[in-house]
Amino acid sequence: MSFLWALIVGGIIGWLAGLITGRDVPGGIIGNIIAGFIGSWLGSAIFGSFGPAVGGFAIIPAIIGSIILVLIVSFIMRKMRGNHKHA
């Protein structure tokens, strides 16, 4: 049950990061979950674990890390699409 809770919270964190940045996370719901998990790891590695924790995620660093991840992924995706147009 805790794994299911972590998936739900990870998906919500990834979805919030997409909303805050105004960019869609590639992959829909699965992309949101992945962005939430990787973003929370990134945020915890950079900022530590502070603030409230839900489903094993420290919420504030997780959201900040997910925002960073969404911005990086959207930048890379935009560059990749730009390269295909010129080829």
Contact (CB, 8 A) for 13 and 40: yes
> Would you say residue 7 has pLDDT above 60?
yes
pLDDT tens-digit readout, 19-69: 888 887 777 788 888 888 888 888 889 888 888 888 778 889 998 998 998
pLDDT band at 86 (very low <50, low <70, confident <90, very high): low
Strand partners of residue 21: none
For residues 68-87, one letter each, b for 16 or more C-beta atoms within 10 angstroms of the residue's C-beta and e for the rest, the string is bbbeebbeeeeeeeeeeeee
pLDDT band at 85 (very low <50, low <70, confident <90, very high): low
